[in-house]
Copies of this chain bind each other. A is one copy, B any other.
Amino acid sequence: MELSEQTRQSCMSCPIRHRAVCASCDPVEFERLEETKYYRTYSPGQTIMWSGDRMEFVGSVVSGTATIEKTLEDGRKQTVGLLLPSDFIGRPGRDTAIYDVMAISEVTLCCFRRKGFEELVEDTPHIAQRMLEMALDELDAARDWMTLLGRKTAREKIATFLTMIARRRSTPGFEKDDGAVHIELPLTREAMADYLGLTLETVSRQFSKLKKDGVIVLEGKRSVIIPSLPALMEEAGDDGW
């Protein structure tokens, strides 16, 4: 799975082609993208972007998981975004990052130099429109997460998180006939804690309780079986999303 920075692959066979910022581009626009794009890979734990640093590039997550996080003076940390394949990193028009972006697993990005991308946005309406759409989607997601952080109990937070992962990641083919869903957790207990506004101990305890209550089944540390997704969603505190 090693992609060097030089490797250039066709956009047409790109796994995130239909969900990423380039989703609504036409063949001509793709040509322009293919000229300027380049790949970068990061290993787990590596920092993709430091808060305060100059942002030289923007890009899309092709594979892997990354987090956007904010750290307070005294070290308290909050994860403010989870980046999965097709998600966009960086903000055109801003030249200094205001959050840290960390690779959680091995991450491959499809990058564009920021300056060039800004021009691209200006004269490629399809990209500008898609950018807006994605920004508004992320804003909705952030607001839903605000509700989780401000009002939900620890148990509800975990249930919501698992539901969200099941939505975005359920491995097709792993749904059992009885409707059970199998997911691989992309985050450690600590990273989940930072995302959910909890401590890692509380996360661990709530996993144990949900398991004891039969809402989830744990297979090892990272593998979760959800016997009944509706039952799990019941624990999440709100229907809808």
Contacts and interface: CB of A to CB of B under 8 A. Distances in A.
A77 interface: yes
Interface string A129-164: 101110110111011111101111000000000000
Copies of this polypeptide in the complex: 2
B129 A72 contact: no
B136 A91 contact: yes
A52 to B, nearest CB: 9
Contact of A132 (B68, B131, B239, B240): B131
A76 B149 CA distance: 12
A23 to B, nearest CB: 14
Nearest to A69: B147
Contacts of A78: 146-147, 150-151
A76 B151 CA distance: 7
Contact of A133 (B80, B93, B133): B93
Contacts of A227: none
Given A68-B143, A146-B142, A151 B77 contact: yes
Contacts of A122: 125, 129
Interface of A: 68, 70, 72-74, 76-78, 80-81, 91, 93, 98-99, 122, 125, 128-129, 131-133, 135-136, 138-140, 142-147, 149-152, 196-197, 237-240
Given A73-B238, A122-B125, 17 more contacts: A72-B238, A74-B237, A77-B151, A78-B150, A80-B147, A122-B129, A125-B125, A125-B128, A128-B132, A132-B135, A135-B135, A142-B142, A142-B146, A145-B146, A146-B146, A150-B196, A151-B197
